[in-house]
Amino acid sequence: MTDQAASAQSVRGPRPPRPACPRCTVRIQADPTFVPCPVGDGDELFPNGIFVFNVTRILETLWAYRLTAAQHVRFLTSTSAHLAFVGYWNGKVGEAGEDA
């Protein structure tokens, strides 16, 4: 961190915690039969931190509704991303439960 960035952070103080996700209410389980979403030539991938989603396959599946956490799992491109997403999501569920 640069001196200027450190100085700006000390003036503003620490970042407040993120509010719990109001839609994060159901825990998901790691699926022992999980098969990563195949990536075809020309598929658009969306890397979001440690998760990589196959946007092409999501758009092929998406109709006029939001995907649930369990539906997101189908589009993860690796087992490590699957396990990381399960932990991430369940952490959000825990945060929402703590605030309720």
What is the residue type of 42? Answer: G
pLDDT tens, residue by residue, 17-44 = 665 666 667 788 899 999 999 999 999 8
State the DSSP H helix or E strand holding residue 54, giving kind and residue range, or none if neither: strand 51-54
**How does the average pLDDT of the chain come out, rounded?**
76
pLDDT score for 26: 79
**Please, what is the end-to-end C-alpha distance for the chain in angstroms?**
36
Residue 72 near residue 24, CB atoms below 8 Å: no
Residue 56 pLDDT > 60, yes or no? yes
> Looking at 30-39, 42-51, 68-77, which range is the least confident one?
68-77
pLDDT score for 43: 92
Domain locations in the chain?
A: 3-99
pLDDT score for 7: 47
